[in-house]
Amino acid sequence: MKKTAQKMASAIIVIAALFFSTRGLAQTPAAAKNQSPDAIRPFHVNVPEKKLIDLKRRILATEWPERETVKDETQGVQLSTIQKLAAYWAKGYNWRKFEAKLNALPQFITNIDGLDIHFIHVRSKHKNALPILITHGWPGSIIEQMKIIGPLTDPTAYGGKAEDAFDVIIPSLPGYGFSGKPTAAGWDPQRIARAWVVLMKRLGYKRFVAQGGDWGNAVTEQMALQAPPELIGIHTNMPATVPSDVAKALQFNEQAPSNLSADEKHAYDQLDFFYKHGLGYANEMANRPQTLYAIQDSPVGLAAWMLDHDATSLSLITRVFNGHPEGLTRDDILDNVTLYWLTGTAVSSARLYWESKLAFFAPKGITIPVAVSAFPDELYQAPRSWTEKAYPKLIHYNKLNKGGHFAAWEQPQVFTEELRAAFKSLR
């Protein structure tokens, strides 16, 4: 009887593991047992092979349109670019290579406010490491920040000093990656910000900083506005600094204010271009995210939708698939797209645009210490003048000469140096 019971127990564990793996979520056997809702459960990725085979089949079965009628990217992602991406995706790309890299990092899941939240948590070996919570955006993921984990947690191995060390926590936004998908409305940046504070407290941190760009900035700024005593400062690479008169001129397609400095006029021109030529994806996801069934069904459709985020990042990615890697590689790009595909998060991630009622670039009145890194190929390079007005407790500002919207992903060394400098005064 004892042997029979042991066999039955083993069978239950195997069945549980198979259940999780069919969802791409192969957790430890303990995760299958009854646990308290706030338990922190180890997490391990193991995508079923049949999902990878199906992905390849779908890529090869793509119905292609005719090529664009112009010689540039003004009509969107060029046919030659997406076909090169698809060819490599189907015949050269290896998800398992990335999966192993991800599984080499400590990953966990915990339930907050009724939703499973996936996160990477790497503690530094150095004493007095400063905990930093880093939030990604769309069409990004935890992949954006993976290159900076080593330099932040182990600075002495990457040209830094022990006193530069961070503990790094990188959660997947609700509806993104391996986090749960909300089944009811209400997961806006404010609610996510509250959940992130719960996460940091649950991990035992009584003092931490936070960082974000894109949606990560929106969430991080909301954390700052909620002002939990544990949060001592934030850093952003996509700050909200645009003055009201500039925002009005952009909204109503008026002439730019006449008193703008050269840096301010440059930022105005960048925003004007983005509002006129780059907001299509955001408008659709903000208004009708559920309509985007096509990108949930077609991997190539999803890839094209994700690539066409902004003109400079699309141009960079086009060069990468033309054989000129710079900051990103073909594998970098496809790791991220494949993560969206395998987790089935094309539509669930888009709903964050529908949920949020925040003005992306309007100052929010943050009163805690703020650090800003202004990258030249961001949607706009925030001028120091606007930044100082938006953040009265500005502790760091640097205008960089290289890097774009996915700065940590594209320029990890520079980004790491920025974070070290940004929070030096708060240690």
pLDDT of residue 15: 34
Q: Are residues 38 and 105 in the same domain?
A: no
Regions in the chain scoring below 70 on pLDDT: 1-34
CA 403/CA 284 separation, integer angstroms: 27
Same domain, 215 and 150: yes
226 with 110, same domain: the answer is yes
Q: What is the CATH number of the domain that holds 155?
A: 3.40.50.1820
Q: Are residues 128 and 231 in the same domain?
A: yes
Q: Are residues 39 and 143 in the same domain?
A: no
pLDDT tens figures, 286-297: 999 999 999 999
Claim to verify: residue 186 and residue 111 sit in the same structural domain: yes
Q: Are residues 25 and 141 in the same domain?
A: no
Residue 133 lies in a domain: yes
**Does 86 map to a domain?**
no
Residues with a known catalytic role: 214, 353, 405
Nearest alpha-carbon partner for 410 in 400, 397, 422, 424:
400
Task: Write the pLDDT tens digit of every residue in 194-226.
Answer: 999 999 999 999 999 999 999 999 999 999 999
Whether omega before 37 lies within 30 degrees of 0, making that bond cis, reads no
Looking at the structure, do residues 107 and 40 belong to the same domain, yes or no?
no
Tell me if 347 is assigned to some domain. Answer: no
pLDDT tens for 107-151 read 999 999 999 999 999 999 999 999 999 999 999 999 999 999 999
What does the DSSP assignment read for 112-128?
Answer: ETTEEEEEEEE--SSTT
What pLDDT shows up at residue 285? 98
Residue 31: give the domain boundaries: 10-44
If asked whether residues 232 and 371 sit together in one domain, one would say: yes
Task: Count the domains in the chain.
Answer: 2
| Distance between CA atoms of residues 342 and 416, nearest Å | 29
Give pTM, 2 decimals: 0.92
Q: Are residues 40 and 107 in the same domain?
A: no
Q: 122 and 209: one domain?
A: yes
Contacts of 375 (CB under 8 A, 6+ apart): 237, 381, 400, 402, 403, 404, 405, 407, 411
Q: Residue 161 and residue 129: Cα distance in Å, rounded?
A: 11
Q: Is residue 79 situated within a structural domain?
A: no
- pLDDT score recorded for residue 33: 57
DSSP-assigned letter for residue 138? S
151 and 237 share one domain: yes
Q: Specify the pLDDT at position 32.
A: 44
- Whether 151 maps to a domain, the answer reads yes
